[in-house]
Amino acid sequence: MSGQVSSGRLSKVFNIAKDALKMGLVLLVICVIAAGALAQVYSITKVIIDKNEAEAEKKKRRDVLPLAARFEEKEIDGKKYILGYDAEDKQVGSIFKAAPKGYSGPIKITVGVAPDHSVSAVIITKLDQTETPGLGTNIVKPKFLNQFKGKKGNEIKLKKDSGTIDAITAATISSRAVANGVKAGWEQYINDLGEKK
């Protein structure tokens, strides 16, 4: 009788293991299908995301060099520049990017440089959303950014640092980060592509 009991228990254990294996296989199939579906959705949306990013990049370029009809990328010692040309193929300026550290994270900026090597435009392309709301986030406003137009060299500093740029009240760190990022990028640009005038 003990042989029947242990055989019955063994059969019960075997059935439980078989059921667990079936559930595991079903779960595996579901996971494979879900992963495949997710990969398919990603591949479809990746094309859309890439297209949107390319359009956003074109808009940034047009915003800082509005006279340019076409753009050409140039790399010097690992630093990327974008050269802008008008319809007659005359260079109307250059673009560089910088990402200085703000109050709580990087501030990504795009800077246009005119043929006379002065700053033609500055736009904030990405601002860490942890900058102080209402203060540090004001660096994206034209009132602050327009101060950089026409500036060169040591003019591209805050007035507090012997420059010509007014800092945003109560947001000196963010203001200084943008000014220092523009100045450092401009100096690198002059070193790589221009002559100081």
Per-position pLDDT tens, the chain of length 197: 444 557 777 788 788 888 888 999 999 999 999 999 999 999 999 999 999 988 988 999 999 999 999 999 999 988 999 999 999 999 999 999 999 988 778 889 999 999 999 999 999 987 655 555 666 678 888 999 999 999 998 899 999 999 999 998 888 888 999 999 999 999 999 999 876 44
Dist CA 175 CA 179 (whole Å): 6
| Dist. CA 74–CA 192, nearest whole Å | 11
Of residues 164, 98, 165, 177, the one with CA closest to residue 137: 177
